[in-house]
Amino acid sequence: MVRTGLSALLIIGTWATAGLTQATAADSRSSAEPQASAGIITAMQRDLGLTKSQAESRLTAEKKATALEGTARSAAGASYGGSWFDASSGRLTVAVTDDAKAGVVRAAGAQVRVVEHTARELDAVKNRLDALTAPSGVSSWHVDPRANSVVVTVVASEQGDNDVRSFVAKAREAGPVTVEQTSEAARTFAAGTVGGDPYYTGNVRCSIGFSVHGGFVTAGHCGQAGGAVRGWDGSAIGNFQGSSFPDNDYAWVNVGSGWWTVPVVLGWGTVSDQLVRGSNEAPIGASICRSGSTTHWHCGNVLAKNETVNYSQGAVRQMTKTSVCAEGGDSGGSFISGDQAQGVTSGGWGNCSSGGETWYQPINEILNRYGLTLHTA
């Protein structure tokens, strides 16, 4: 029985070989395009309402958009106002403030929208908000390139609260701000111990994120540096070598005692496993899937980047927001777009019965912070 946690999870015993048997045989260095696993396609059909061919076409378009983003941003230069994937057209859209740059960006292969504010200006506004102390009724804030403003999300039932109104007023003074509502406040997705699930530290159950050489990455709120980690079978895996929460929400654990790492996101016996081939960052608007020890596979879209999330334990910055659902115990699990690692599950609101939103800490920030190397196929 497969009982390992999430994504590029640690495997114990001879299952490591079996876990790779359903993955694509195409090598990333070959001329053939690696095909998405049946698990990714199945989850996208279920959660995004796509047909099999639509899911495959979207993944192909998103991969092209991801590869184009850096080139288009360079073409826009100082007038760059942000970018996102447009699912309806299957193309990357780039915002610019200078009409003269529009043609250059189009020539690079992207669609163009002329806007008033540059990404640098909007980032400066968000940084001013980051310096404020937010009340519990303010859920999060992020730069939205499509709205060309900073979006502040407040809990609908608390929008009339004096502290919330004061925060919003100060936010509007900082620059272009749009206010949106959410039904629930953000929370982390750790859970109490439940037998048979992926990993434990103390009385907390979380999910393993992506394998790195020497261990795995996960959420920082799941354990503190030095804390012991046990696997699904209760055996020792290793210890938290580094952990940061709040402000950030990431950690990494070393492995030993007969455990080792493989570049796989698990399908939990219901969908095929997915090989991890890199960590190219998907644009806003791209599809994305999550694997977790509680709710297993679910997919959605990237909604926002560089969002500050106001948990009860404190604000966490530079998060990516998605429309993917999650529940307690999914914390730390893997977010993947196609075959590219994106980040580890932090928290959100809602559940996988009625829906919700979830944030993840981007994988490349974690790798850079601890000097880790992603284990790839």
For the four alpha carbons of 54, 57, 62 and 68, in that order, the dihedral sign comes to negative
- The Cα–Cα gap between 186 and 315 comes to 10
Taking Cα atoms as reference points, which of 276, 190, 198 lies closest to residue 237?
198
Told to judge if 139 belongs to the known catalytic residues of this protein, a careful annotator would answer no
- The Cα–Cα gap between 148 and 116 comes to 7
Burial class (CB in 10 A: 0-12, 13-18, 19+), 53: exposed
Which listed residue (221, 296, 298, 375) is catalytic? 221
Three-state SS at 136: coil
- The Cα–Cα gap between 117 and 35 comes to 39
In single-letter form, the type of residue at position 129 comes to L
Told to judge if 331 belongs to the known catalytic residues of this protein, a careful annotator would answer yes
Q: Residues 6 or more apart from 300 whose CB is under 8 A from it? A: 47, 48, 287, 288, 289, 290, 322, 323, 324, 325, 358
Which listed residue (83, 149, 287, 331) is catalytic? 331
In single-letter form, the type of residue at position 103 comes to G
Q: How many CA atoms lie within 13 A of 350 on its CB side?
A: 16
Are the C-beta atoms of residues 15 and 34 closer than 8 Å to each other? no
Per-residue tokens: 28: 């990333």
Three-state SS at 3: coil
Which listed residue (144, 197, 249, 330) is catalytic? 249
Are the C-beta atoms of residues 182 and 156 closer than 8 Å to each other? yes
Taking Cα atoms as reference points, which of 336, 329, 327, 328 lies closest to residue 363?
336
Q: Containing H/E element for 229?
A: strand 228-230
- The Cα–Cα gap between 176 and 92 comes to 24
Told to judge if 30 belongs to the known catalytic residues of this protein, a careful annotator would answer no
Are the C-beta atoms of residues 354 and 226 closer than 8 Å to each other? no
Q: How many CA atoms lie within 13 A of 107 on its CB side?
A: 8
Taking Cα atoms as reference points, which of 294, 273, 293 lies closest to residue 336?
273
Question: Which residues are known to be catalytic?
Answer: 221, 249, 331
